[in-house]
Amino acid sequence: MNSNLIAALRSDHMPRLPSSVSALDPSAQLEKVLRSHRRGFSAGSILKLEGESSVATYCVLDGWVALSKSTQDGQRQIIDFVLPGDIINPSSANKCTSTMQIEALSYARIAVVPNVTWANLIEGGPMLRMRESQIISSALSRMSERMLRLGKGTAEMRIAYSLIELYLRLSAIGKVDNDRFHIPLTQQQLGEFSGLSSVHVCRTMRRLSRKNILTVNSQMDITILDLQEMAEIAGVDVAVLNTSIIPTQ
Amino acid sequence: MNSNLIAALRSDHMPRLPSSVSALDPSAQLEKVLRSHRRGFSAGSILKLEGESSVATYCVLDGWVALSKSTQDGQRQIIDFVLPGDIINPSSANKCTSTMQIEALSYARIAVVPNVTWANLIEGGPMLRMRESQIISSALSRMSERMLRLGKGTAEMRIAYSLIELYLRLSAIGKVDNDRFHIPLTQQQLGEFSGLSSVHVCRTMRRLSRKNILTVNSQMDITILDLQEMAEIAGVDVAVLNTSIIPTQ
DNA sequence: CGAAGGCTTGACGGTATTCAAGCATAGTGG
DNA sequence: CCACTATGCTTGAATACCGTCAAGCCTTCG
């Protein structure tokens, strides 16, 4: 609406609006909706519990969000990460309860848009509908890739794949610098993502770093030293993976 | 109208279009499109290879279809089954290649609708759009439940969950009779679905049947003898699971 | 009747989990 | 400034679970 609006959407951590969000719809209406529903969540805060009723669409503007499910005995599986520019609607087939827990892993700015409002927005913009469908498709592709490795992959394969996936997603939003990036996860959480115990995550990553394939420091700043070899271990073609899990901009 | 739509998507034999129905009626249009694109596929035929270009939406009218991905060394993971009434669009984020292999597991009748045609159909009917979104949501819910168990579950849990999922899905389309149903899968394929080797599927199912929780014959006709205990092992509440993975009708 | 495909079971081995202890770091309050 | 705690990483040892290999059996089908 005014330049303040644009500025408001731009976070201090992001030099620019996540390109995928701005590509959603050129109209100012989206920005208005996002801005008016924008909220900040501190790291670790839980936006929604598994099974809780949910009638909103979440647009992540900045920060990391995790979608997860837990077994009765407290084991947790992270189903997907939601990164800046992503849109998720956690509702199940019945369209009113969330099938997953939603948790901010870092400080996150999120537009929590009521489904009714969102539906109106979609109604008005075919671009936005296309964009949403693209985002859903890429989430499905990512989940499929991970399911393949959860079912059939070794620990090395799962870790290598997980890191490449995050590398590509972070690259797409300008958060990778010289093959170096940060993930706001503990080894425990990386294990919940890749289906491994935290102990085995540690062993596996140490093995990879001893082989000079990557480096990690205690802040979980990761540098990929040998992408070729990582891709080999993960069993992916990086270029192909990129087109299938990253929405075209 | 909605129930007509479902009937159209699910019926074994396409209902005749009454001549009195207006050609502008969206459900009538749907029927017309489905009928004109309907094709039959024999068991084992592969409709689409992983990575092949794909510009169609698949509406399964009858029979079983599997979506799968494979590793370079030939290990396969079945990502999801597509059953009568389901709609899938296998395209990845780039909207033109399929991320998965599509295979008929039994003789199947499928309407292969070009995306353009499908988009027009959707444009004209908000009910159909809602329906499609519901079907996508339930597929996501199912995949999430399975990911949780692929990552954190034991073999018993995976098998019990898989069978309950199929039991509920088949129930919803009237293919379960007295807790008895048929799945057109080998143990190998059930293993590809649940992330187990065929040998371990065999052991696990035998263990379950020795415990009098279920019976299986050589035709993969399964009877659930103790749903309570199955649900316990699978770690699910059957009623809750049903609402989250089965589209409301 | 032979071949092919699928199920079943045993034996063995490998991979990942669990348990446990030690270490490092950051934050807190005396 | 220094305990003191909490949290997370690291490593070893023991164990459990599941995969692989292999053989035997059954059914189906040409």
pLDDT tens column, B203-213 = 999 999 999 99
Asked if the Cβ of residue B119 lies within 7 A of any atom of strand C, the reply is no
Integer-rounded Cα Rg, in Å, for chain A is 18
Residue B124: predicted pLDDT = 77
Mean pLDDT of B218-225: 95
Instruction: Give the span between the Cα atoms of A146 and A194, in whole angstroms.
Output: 8
Percentage above 70 pLDDT, chain A? 89
Q: What contacts 24+ positions apart, CB below 8 Å, involve B207-214? A: B207/B156, B208/B156, B208/B159, B208/B160, B208/B233, B213/B160, B214/B163
Closest nt by CA–C1' to A186:
D8
Residue A215 burial (C-beta neighbours within 10 Å; 0-12, 13-18, 19+): middle
Range A188-197 average pLDDT: 98
Name the percent of chain B in helix, strand, coil, to the closest 5: 45, 20, 35
Strand D contacts (Cβ < 7 A) comprise: A 186-188, 198-199, 202-203, 205-206, 216, 218, 220; B 154-156, 191, 195-197, 199-200, 218
> What does residue B38 show for φ and ψ, rounded to 5 degrees?
-70, 135
Q: What is the pLDDT of residue A27?
A: 65
Rounded CA-CA distance B15/B19 in Å is 12
What is the spatial distance, in angstroms and rounded to an integer, between the CA atom of B119 and the C1' atom of C11? 57
Query: What pLDDT shows up at residue A21?
Result: 54
Q: Which helix (H) or strand (E) holds A175?
A: none
B153 contacts in A (CB within 8 Å)?
71
The SS3 assignment for A64 reads: coil
Which is more confident, A20 or A200?
A: A200
Chain A residues whose CB is inside 8 A of the B248 CB are 93-95
Residues 128-147 of B with CB under 8 A from A: 134, 136-138, 140-141, 143-147
Q: CA–C1' distance B187–D18 (Å)?
A: 16
Q: Against a cut of 0.75, is the pTM above it?
A: yes
Contact assignment for A243 to B146 by CB distance below 8 Å: no
Chain A residues near residue B93 by CB distance under 8 angstroms: 134, 137-138, 141, 243-248
* Mean pLDDT value across chain B: 90
Closest CA to B98 of B147, B46, B141: B46
